[in-house]
Amino acid sequence: MSLIETKGAASAQGFGLFARPKGCCLNDGNKGIFALGCTASGNSTVRNKYTYASCASTACGVGAASSASSGGSAAGNNTRGIFALGQNNCGRSTIRNKFTYAGCTSTASGVGAASAASRFGSAAGNNTRGIFALGNDSPCCGRTTTRNKYTYASCASTSSGVGAATCATARGSAVGNSTVGFFALGFASSRTSSRDKYTYASCTSVSFGTGATAASAQGSAAGNSTRGIFALGNTACGRVTTRNKFTYATEANTACGVGAASVASQWGSAAGNSTRGIFSLGCTASGRSTTRNKYTYACCTSTASGVGAASDASYFQSAASWATCVNT
């Protein structure tokens, strides 16, 4: 993560426009927007604003989704997050919402819809576009290779000319930098360790050799300009605390020395800025959770202590965020 991942479930990435010379950052992203997804009362319209500086979270004054939903995904730039709602109370949906960070407002008006109704997708992007992997496009297990390119400036979306996934999947996660997005494919005919590299400039996608350390699905991801942190979610052993650190420059992946989640979980989301990722855990052995972890990239450590909890226990979440120097 995210939301804003899903993360997802979704998956989330950081974005911004202004930088100091030599790569130092100004105006780093200060908030992440988390869509709660499925609560004990069912699908929810609730979103939380998480403030990185204070590790505080609130649902007060935060623009709600246009309809109750879960199993969505999100990506964004320095001014807005685009939330694919996933499944609402009428079933899989093509609806997306534009969440404007400055005013904490949300709208579905004028927002490019998905090319097909879907749920359990993932998304990553840079400061001009978001790439949405649609996920499940038919009842039960209709997985798809389709991705959509969402252009922030025009609020337009297309599947034309957009590099497809290397196999039909759902329940994945994604993160990236200014030039490429890395998609953990999630569930194909079974859990997979495969990841795809999506190049924004050419709208092409390829599979590459360095996969996850275990076949998994239902995870989440967040990262900065040099690395992505993938929470694996569900493996053959069930929910896990395992996270992987993926280094973009070398396409190297490891679980060694990577701060684990505070409890085994799946179906969460993640968002972050240039220094930290906030992982909303989703579903644990006790059921829906309000717990979030703060993952610090510099030291690869993770904690649940002092981290603002969600306003309600949930899973099937998504999240979006931005940060200067991450995706520009």
Q: What residue spans define the domains of the chain?
A: 6-321
Average pLDDT, the chain: 91
Residue 87, C-beta contacts closer than 8 angstroms, at least 6 positions apart: 43, 69, 70, 71, 72, 93, 119, 316
Residue 322: per-residue pLDDT = 73
Task: Give the closest residue to 261 by CA, choosing from 242, 289, 284.
Answer: 242
Q: Average pLDDT in the 274-280 region?
A: 96
Quick one: fold of 6-321? Answer: Neuraminidase (2.120.10)
For residue 69, pLDDT beyond 70 = yes
Q: Are strands 180-184 and 318-321 parallel, antiparallel or unpaired?
A: unpaired
User: What count of Cα atoms within 13 Å lies in the side-chain half-sphere of residue 68?
Assistant: 10
Q: Average pLDDT in the 147-153 region?
A: 97
Residue 139: per-residue pLDDT = 76
Task: Give the confidence band of 323 by pLDDT, cuts at 50, 70, 90.
Answer: low
Residue 27: per-residue pLDDT = 56
What end-to-end distance do the CA atoms of the chain give, in Å?
A: 18
- One-letter-per-residue 3-state SS of 104-161: CEEECCCCCCCCCCEECCEEEECCCEEEEECCEEECCCEEECCEEEEECCCCEEECCC
Q: Average pLDDT in the 172-185 region?
A: 96
Residue 138: per-residue pLDDT = 84
Task: Give the confidence band of 143 by pLDDT, cuts at 50, 70, 90.
Answer: very high
Using a pLDDT cut of 70, give the percent of the chain over it. 90
Task: Give the confidence band of 3 by pLDDT, cuts at 50, 70, 90.
Answer: very low
- Round to whole Å and give the CA distance between 196 and 45: 31
Using a pLDDT cut of 90, give the percent of the chain over it. 85
Task: Give the confidence band of 13 by pLDDT, cuts at 50, 70, 90.
Answer: very low
Task: Give the confidence band of 28 by pLDDT, cuts at 50, 70, 90.
Answer: confident
For residue 4, pLDDT beyond 60 = no
- Round to whole Å and give the CA distance between 72 and 319: 9
- Which residue carries 């649940």 as its tokens? 304
pTM of the model: 0.92
Q: Average pLDDT in the 24-53 region?
A: 89
Residue 250, C-beta contacts closer than 8 angstroms, at least 6 positions apart: none
Residue 327: per-residue pLDDT = 59
Instruction: Report in angstroms the alpha-carbon separations of 145 from 61, 121, 203.
Output: 37, 11, 14
Cβ atoms within 10 Å of 238's Cβ, excluding its own: 9
Residue 328: per-residue pLDDT = 62
The residue that leads in pLDDT, 122 or 1, is 122
Task: Give the closest residue to 130 by CA, choosing from 248, 293, 3.
Answer: 3
Task: Give the confidence band of 305 by pLDDT, cuts at 50, 70, 90.
Answer: very high
User: Residue 44 has what DSSP assignment?
Assistant: B
Residue 208: per-residue pLDDT = 83
Tokens of 302: 């993770």
For residue 325, pLDDT beyond 60 = no
Task: Give the confidence band of 141 by pLDDT, cuts at 50, 70, 90.
Answer: confident
Task: Give the confidence band of 321 by pLDDT, cuts at 50, 70, 90.
Answer: confident
| Structure confidence by residue, pLDDT tens digits, 229-261 | 999 999 999 999 999 999 999 999 999 999 999
